Structure 1
Amino acid sequence: MDPVPHVVIVPYPAQSHIKCMLKLARLLHQKGLYITFINTQTNHKLLVESGGTLWLDNAVGFWFKTVPDGHPSKHTQTYEVWNFLRTHFYDSFLDIILGIEYPVTCIICDGFMTCMNTINAAEKLNIPIMLCWTMAACGFMGFYQAKVLMEKQIIPLKDEIYLTNGYLDKEIDWIPGMEEIRLKDLPNELMLDTKHDYLLNCFLEIAQASDMVSHTIFHTFEALEASLLSEIKTKFSNVYTIGPLQLLLNPISEKESKICYSLWKEEPECVRWLNSKEPSSVVYVNFGSLAVMSVQDLIELGWGLVNSKNYFLWIIRADLLDGKVEVLPQELKEAMKEKGFVGSWCSQEEVLNHQAVGGFLTHGGWGSINESLSAGVPMICWPFKSDQLTNCRQMCKEWEVGMKIGKNTKRDEVEKLVRALMEGLEGERMRKKALEWKKMAEIATSSDGSSYLDIEKLANDIIKLAKN
């Protein structure tokens, strides 16, 4: 009798990455594969406390293992944790794999965890490894440019002056599907001067590692990024597009109670407030799990929302304000009561699919954009860093479902863009386009769609590995 295939899944220790890879783990588990899911100790504690593991209470063949993160008493989505894992993850990971009783068929590793020597560990253990990018193909290709830009001697930038003299407006013309993209649309970690070589070298290492594996998984769907994926498939073998994962999970979820994948408790009051509002009357505002902003930006954003005269549901995380305690002027708090509702965290997919939500003001993280496209909701994008910049460019230029807003934006522009999104012809046009992408995502995840077939192929390829 052939052994049951057993996959070890290694996410990068951040909310959106864990959420995506938990969904992938759940799909593979539903197809009969055994799963060992590796979290950092603190993130696993948060996941358990939020109820994010309750759906596995009676699951057979699904295990969680943890590695130390060096910061057991604090939030672990920081560069300090990144640096700790750079030094300590390899040995902890080997100890876990060597201690697992059931034979491991393969490792599915978050692409960002390759800088923790996961590929070297897999080679040492003689276990096949696949990379999963919890982002769009464009986001991956943005980071992949670390290698290309280095080869072309465009980076590292020699001086800070390059950051201010318009140099980053330079277009690059060698990525099909991302034509006329500018240097400043690529992850900003690549556009650092030589004083930050350490960080740039991390991303160069990640880009180079992507060439070393034979199986690559993207959380996107074929129709959304067809020409770019076609280019990627000329560079990499065995490419799987498996998104949106929630749409693949929906037929399973219909038979179960609500499942949480969050590190923080989701507040049901947010949805109850939405229930009292008219269809498409609310703009949802959430900057994800990592973005931080200044008090001044928060105040300008708040007044812009108030002055737009639209209803808004605003998620303000406890750590949103760059290490500062939230301090909103009393006058703004009073003004927000009429049209706004503020929460600290929510079930984002439930909110975006609520009939009352007509627009989304987002940081442009791929999890948020993917969920908004799946719900057919147009967006305003306020990108902060990393692939958010690339996602925002594609959202506005290629997919035509969003408008960009910049940092240090004043309340008048916030008001103007929110009105355009919720009331204007441009917002209506984007809403129509978003609904078109929603339909294409549903087709991709239907029984003969590209994402459905690719998740089947991925599971079958892992099963074949187990038989070899």
Structure 2
Amino acid sequence: MANSKPHALIIPFPAQGHVIPLMELAQCLVNQGVKVTFINTEVTHKLVTSNWLEQEGFGDLLQMVTIPDGLEPWEDRSDICKLTLSILQTMPGKLEQLIEMINHEESNKITHMIVDGTMGWAVRVAMKVGIRCAVFWPASAATLASILCIPKLIDDRIIDENEKLMWACLKDVNAEKAVFKLLLDTVEAYRVTTWFICNSTVELEQAAFSMYSQLLPIGPLLASNRLSYQAGHFWQEDPTCLTWLDQQPPCSVIYIAFGSFTMFNQTQFEELAHGLELSNKPFLWVVRPGMTVESTTAYPDGFIHRVQSRGRTVSWAPQQKVLAHPSVACFMSHCGWNSTLESVTNGLPFLCWPYFGDQFYNETYICDIWKVGLGLRKDEAGVISRGEIKDKVQQLLNDKRFKDKALAIKESVTSSVQKGGHSHQNLDSFIKWIREEDIDAKVQHDSKEHDFQRNQ
């Protein structure tokens, strides 16, 4: 293997928030001459490639391949329980078959695997077939730290495998149990791998990284690797909104986007629309297909006509470019980690509307630790009212301290990914390991892998 050219196999969890940062990492490796085979499920592959505008940007060093997730094409991938159990049952064997097929060509053998931390089962596959493996964590280090505490919480009888997860916020017991299995695999992956890299930076999460010295921050990847069109999106971007932004005053526009998973009922959707109208501010609102639980998304009567002079809706936006636009004043967000990183690297304050999982942790960072945003609070009926939206928009944009803190964080995070910065140095060390230039790290990894296999 020492004489083989570096060839990394990358496998993300089949969700947009996981695919995008691992595609960013793939670009970093390709830029350093590393061949990458990127694995998606068949459904995800179709979504990603159909919306990928600049495939040639990766050159011949990147190949996209698929393995099945075990579900039929028409089955609902938003059913977390069904998808997770199907992945665990189907994908390990399919991944092993794919590796065997690729490695049949002597000059093309896979030398390393980079596994999404929520696909920890793939670490076992890598060790079974004798491939050195690293784990990539696409969310915050704080989220990972809470997961790594699970064994101790079980040992101390604070939780058990049948209890509600402290952060997943799932409404279905079976879904919770399925996700819990993935999280236990994450803990095992952390235990057995030398390289556990995170799409974060010490400047954002000093306390979390001080707790777990093995975690290696290499992000935010998007800050050091900006593609003309970011790969990994499941929906086609509408670039015309950038032209609309060009026509708006500097630092005036509220950008509203809730990622690929958030859903609203019709009442909440209408309250959001009314709140944006009452704010009397220009706004760019991403209304994704299927964003409401009803079969069709209906705006309040007359809404589009009343706001047409200052409001714009799109089905999907080129978010990195939107957040970097000088007309944007703030970001109303679900607080997914990718969106959070994109906003802090552009020095924008937040209006926080978390929906699921780690997004609530990220809201705590934004509002309580970094102090660059405000949370939107529900009323007694569980609805974020139009009045609450209007008031928080005014409060955020009228207090200069939020913008000042956001700009200070932007500066520190940007410096980390520049040459000489902490994340830049870590990423450089990781790439050297992939290229087999860091012999000490290779020896340490092989020793740890041997110990794991010996204990099985």
Q: What's the CA shift string for 1:117-150, capped at 9, x where partnerless?
A: 2122112101121110011211222333333332
Indicate which of 275, 288, 295 corresponds to 2:259.
288
Where 1:330 maps in the other structure, the secondary structure is: coil
Matched letter for residue 418 of structure 2:
S
Where 2:212 maps in the other structure, the secondary structure is: helix
**What is the CA distance between 1:466 and its match in structure 2?**
9.7
1:135-284 equivalences under 5 Å are 135-156=139-160, 186-189=167-170, 196-233=176-213, 236=214, 239-250=215-226, 258-284=229-255
Is residue 2:415 matched to residue 1:443? yes
**What is the CA distance between 1:42 and its match in structure 2?**
1.4
**What is the CA distance between 1:270 and its match in structure 2?**
1.3
Is residue 2:2 matched to residue 1:22? no
Residue 315 of structure 1 contacts residue 342 of structure 1 at CA under 8 Å; is this kept in 2?
A: yes
Where 1:314 maps in the other structure, the secondary structure is: strand
Change (3 A) 1:213 1:52: farther
* Residues in 2 aligned to 1:158 and 1:19: alpha-carbon distance in whole angstroms: 32
Q: Counterpart of 1:169?
A: none
* Residues in 1 aligned to 2:207 and 2:122: alpha-carbon distance in whole angstroms: 30
Indicate which of 115, 129, 132 corresponds to 1:109.
115
Is residue 2:424 matched to residue 1:452? yes
Is residue 2:388 matched to residue 1:413? yes
Q: Counterpart of 1:348?
A: 319
* Residues in 1 aligned to 2:45 and 2:89: alpha-carbon distance in whole angstroms: 20
- 149-158 or 32-41: which moved more? 149-158
Residue 143 of structure 1 contacts residue 387 of structure 1 at CA under 8 Å; is this kept in 2?
A: no
**What is the CA distance between 1:9 and its match in structure 2?**
0.3
Where 2:37 maps in the other structure, the secondary structure is: strand
Indicate which of 87, 90, 100 corresponds to 2:89.
87
Gaps of 5+ in 1: 161-182
**What is the CA distance between 1:194 and its match in structure 2?**
9.4
Q: What's the CA shift string for 1:413-461, capped at 9, x where partnerless?
A: 0111111122x22xx2111111111101111011111111111100111
**What is the CA distance between 1:154 and its match in structure 2?**
2.2
Residue 54 of structure 2 contacts residue 229 of structure 2 at CA under 8 Å; is this kept in 1?
A: no
Where 1:267 maps in the other structure, the secondary structure is: coil
Where 1:243 maps in the other structure, the secondary structure is: coil
**What is the CA distance between 1:221 and its match in structure 2?**
1.1
* Residues in 2 aligned to 1:7 and 1:158: alpha-carbon distance in whole angstroms: 37
Q: Counterpart of 1:49?
A: 50
Change (3 A) 1:409 1:453: same
**What is the CA distance between 1:208 and its match in structure 2?**
3.7
Change (3 A) 1:199 1:457: closer
* Residues in 2 aligned to 1:354 and 1:11: alpha-carbon distance in whole angstroms: 30
**What is the CA distance between 1:77 and its match in structure 2?**
5.0
Change (3 A) 1:50 1:240: same
* Residues in 2 aligned to 1:159 and 1:454: alpha-carbon distance in whole angstroms: 37
**What is the CA distance between 1:19 and its match in structure 2?**
0.7
Matched letter for residue 89 of structure 1:
M
Q: Counterpart of 2:446?
A: none
**What is the CA distance between 1:75 and its match in structure 2?**
7.0
Residue 381 of structure 1 contacts residue 404 of structure 1 at CA under 8 Å; is this kept in 2?
A: yes
Gaps of 5+ in 2: 443-456
- 1-10 or 283-292: which moved more? 1-10
Where 2:225 maps in the other structure, the secondary structure is: helix
**What is the CA distance between 1:196 and its match in structure 2?**
4.8
* Residues in 2 aligned to 1:21 and 1:139: alpha-carbon distance in whole angstroms: 18
Q: Counterpart of 1:180?
A: none
Matched letter for residue 445 of structure 1:
V
Is residue 2:10 matched to residue 1:4? no
Where 2:136 maps in the other structure, the secondary structure is: strand
Matched letter for residue 55 of structure 2:
L
Residue 238 of structure 2 contacts residue 315 of structure 2 at CA under 8 Å; is this kept in 1?
A: yes
**What is the CA distance between 1:156 and its match in structure 2?**
4.1
TM-score (structure 2 length as normaliser): 0.88
Where 1:210 maps in the other structure, the secondary structure is: helix
Residue 47 of structure 1 contacts residue 53 of structure 1 at CA under 8 Å; is this kept in 2?
A: no
Residue 52 of structure 1 contacts residue 261 of structure 1 at CA under 8 Å; is this kept in 2?
A: no
Q: Counterpart of 2:65?
A: 65
* Residues in 2 aligned to 1:2 and 1:52: alpha-carbon distance in whole angstroms: 35
**What is the CA distance between 1:219 and its match in structure 2?**
0.4
* Residues in 2 aligned to 1:157 and 1:111: alpha-carbon distance in whole angstroms: 19
Q: Counterpart of 1:34?
A: 35
- 408-417 or 67-76: which moved more? 67-76
Matched letter for residue 200 of structure 2:
T
Matched letter for residue 118 of structure 2:
F
* Residues in 2 aligned to 1:466 and 1:35: alpha-carbon distance in whole angstroms: 19
* Residues in 2 aligned to 1:433 and 1:291: alpha-carbon distance in whole angstroms: 28
**What is the CA distance between 1:55 and its match in structure 2?**
3.0
Q: Counterpart of 2:271?
A: 300
TM-score (structure 1 length as normaliser): 0.86
- 399-408 or 343-352: which moved more? 399-408
**What is the CA distance between 1:330 and its match in structure 2?**
1.7
Residue 317 of structure 1 contacts residue 345 of structure 1 at CA under 8 Å; is this kept in 2?
A: yes
Where 2:149 maps in the other structure, the secondary structure is: helix
**What is the CA distance between 1:159 and its match in structure 2?**
8.3
Residue 157 of structure 1 contacts residue 192 of structure 1 at CA under 8 Å; is this kept in 2?
A: no
Q: What's the CA shift string for 1:4-32, capped at 9, x where partnerless?
A: 11110001111121110000011011111
